[in-house]
Amino acid sequence: MKNYEVVVIGGGPGGYVAAEEAAKYSQSVAIIENKYLGGTCLNTGCIPSKTLLRHSEVIELMEKAKRWGIEYENFTISFEKMMKRKTKVVESLRKGVESLLNQANVDIYNGTAVVHTNKQITIENPNGSETISADRVIIATGSRPAVPSIKGLDNVTYHTSDTIFDMESLPSSLVIVGGGVIGLEFACIFSALNVEVTIIEMADGLIPGEDEEVAALISKELKKKKVNILTSSGVNEISEGDNGKLIRVKLSSGEHISIQADQVLIASGRKPNISAVSELNLTMNGPFIAVNKQMKTSFPNVFAVGDVIGGWQLAHVASAEGIVAASNACEIFKEVNYKAVPRCIYSSPEIASVGLTENEAQASGLPIRVEKFPLSASGKAMAMDERIGFIKLIVEETYGEILGVVMVGPHVTEIVTEASSFILLEGTVNELAELIHPHPTLSEGIWEAARAWLHKKNTLVNLK
């Protein structure tokens, strides 16, 4: 039986980055993946969604350009070609992950792994089964869509994020159950393609847990795109009607309505894949595998990272945890620092935040003051005709430490990293105001917010 120093289970951003990292420490490494390398992120998550969102962005831009004098007769949309491009992007990146692992001398096994208590690992695939053994194991088996129990759902066809990227034709209408990040991104993708979209969310606003002002703004923007948003509402039943699916909804008012839709997308959360470790009797954190800051589970020499441990459920966090797990598995002590994790939503407009939310900062008991710079006052935003959005700084009042930043607007998912650096390095609003930003850029908005914050502080001091 072949033995490896490190075996990684799951080839997503947590797993393949962990395998590559362990190999850098000259370990013999294997990775086991039962579907596609790249995991959810590359195959049914981050990458295909962002590829389709790019199409929506261009369509919206073309509509807007008509107002600038860039006029054209008509344009047509080929959903088939868009989906083909999406598949090409995914396949090419998947090959990239494979060649990265090959270059790092990581052995790749295809199949479903089960870890036994003696650290032997059985790998099963349609061609049979084989067993390898490991000195140390990293579990990176990720998560899958959680499907709520809704009356009738078992008897109708519906999509999850695992299946929707294989859709062959554009639906005329789509009901999205769940108004979180995933639901929001799909609403933007399909509404730009002229699909009639309805979002049904149980909480009293979209993207529960995020900045309330942001949630209100994005709701307003989605409504402008003719997305029907039902919050504080629950789906009671789904059935197959004569003209599509019939979705029975209980509204916040208590009233019941029926919505007819061509397709239904269930986007109401994700649950961890834990069958690989069922024999290990691991300590759990709710449904997720419990780990310490070095990513160690309760079983000696077994580590876990990414969506399977819960928490952020973001690809970049899974990779950061993968690096930490691999380092500790190779006896290099590391811990994950979650202080400056950027949270991005690629809606239109985009949303990006890092550090504490305003509510969290208020609850911390620290004296805080918030400053907001509206993009309507940004030269670059005006030039781009993208004036919807703002940049909000959440700052500790006494020393001026930046605790959190929230941004809404074009490309904010790219510029949020500046805010992350300040938060990680405990930068202050004074330092931010002194940092020379290029002009004209959207990132100047962060600088403007810092200057406004300081100006108001000085004004307050002078008044005393």
Interface contacts to ligand FAD, rule CB under 6 A: 9-15, 32-35, 39-41, 45-46, 49, 112-113, 140-143, 161, 182, 273, 275-276, 306-308, 313-316, 318, 346
Whether residue 316 lies in the annotated active site: no
Distance of closest approach, residue 138 Cβ to ligand FAD, in angstroms = 10
Q: Which CB sits closer to ligand FAD, 42 or 449? A: 42
Spatial distance between the Cα atoms of 170 and 85, rounded to a whole number of angstroms = 15
Instruction: With H, G, I as helix, E, B as strand and everything else as coil, classify residue 32.
Output: strand
Q: For residue 329, give Cα distances in angstroms to 123, 188, 297.
A: 21, 41, 12
Distance of closest approach, residue 291 Cβ to ligand FAD, in angstroms = 12
Closest CA to 253 of 212, 213, 204: 204
Q: Which CB sits closer to ligand FAD, 14 or 171? A: 14
Peptide bond preceding 349 in cis form (omega within 30 of 0): yes
Q: What DSSP designation does 401 have?
A: B
Q: What DSSP designation does 10 have?
A: -
Closest CA to 192 of 168, 227, 146: 227
Label residues 438-462 b or e (16+ Cβ within 10 Å = b): eeebbbbbbbbbbbbbbeebeeeee
Q: Is the dihedral of CA 198, 200, 205, 206 positive or negative?
A: negative
Q: Which CB sits closer to ligand FAD, 277 or 405? A: 277
Distance of closest approach, residue 171 Cβ to ligand FAD, in angstroms = 17
Contacts of 429 (CB under 8 A, 6+ apart): 393, 395, 400, 401, 402, 450, 453, 454
Q: Which CB sits closer to ligand FAD, 2 or 456? A: 2
Distance of closest approach, residue 120 Cβ to ligand FAD, in angstroms = 14
- Could you tell me which residues are beta bridge partners of residue 310? none
CB 241 within 8 Å of CB 155? no
CB 307 within 8 Å of CB 11? no
Please pick, among 116, 411, 437, 439, the residue that the annotation labels catalytic.
Answer: 439
Q: Which CB sits closer to ligand FAD, 45 or 389? A: 45
Q: Which amino acid, one-letter code, is at 419?
A: A
Q: Which CB sits closer to ligand FAD, 40 or 443? A: 40
Q: Which CB sits closer to ligand FAD, 112 or 428? A: 112
Spatial distance between the Cα atoms of 26 and 387, rounded to a whole number of angstroms = 51
Q: Which DSSP string corresponds to 403-434?
A: EEEEEEETTHHHHHHHHHHHHHTT-BHHHHHH
Distance of closest approach, residue 322 Cβ to ligand FAD, in angstroms = 7
Distance of closest approach, residue 20 Cβ to ligand FAD, in angstroms = 13
Rounded (5°) CA angle 57-63-66:
135
Label residues 50-81 b or e (16+ Cβ within 10 Å = b): bbbbbbbbebeeeeeeeeeeeeeeeeeeebee
Q: Which CB sits closer to ligand FAD, 89 or 435? A: 89
Spatial distance between the Cα atoms of 112 and 268, rounded to a whole number of angstroms = 26
Catalytic site positions: 439
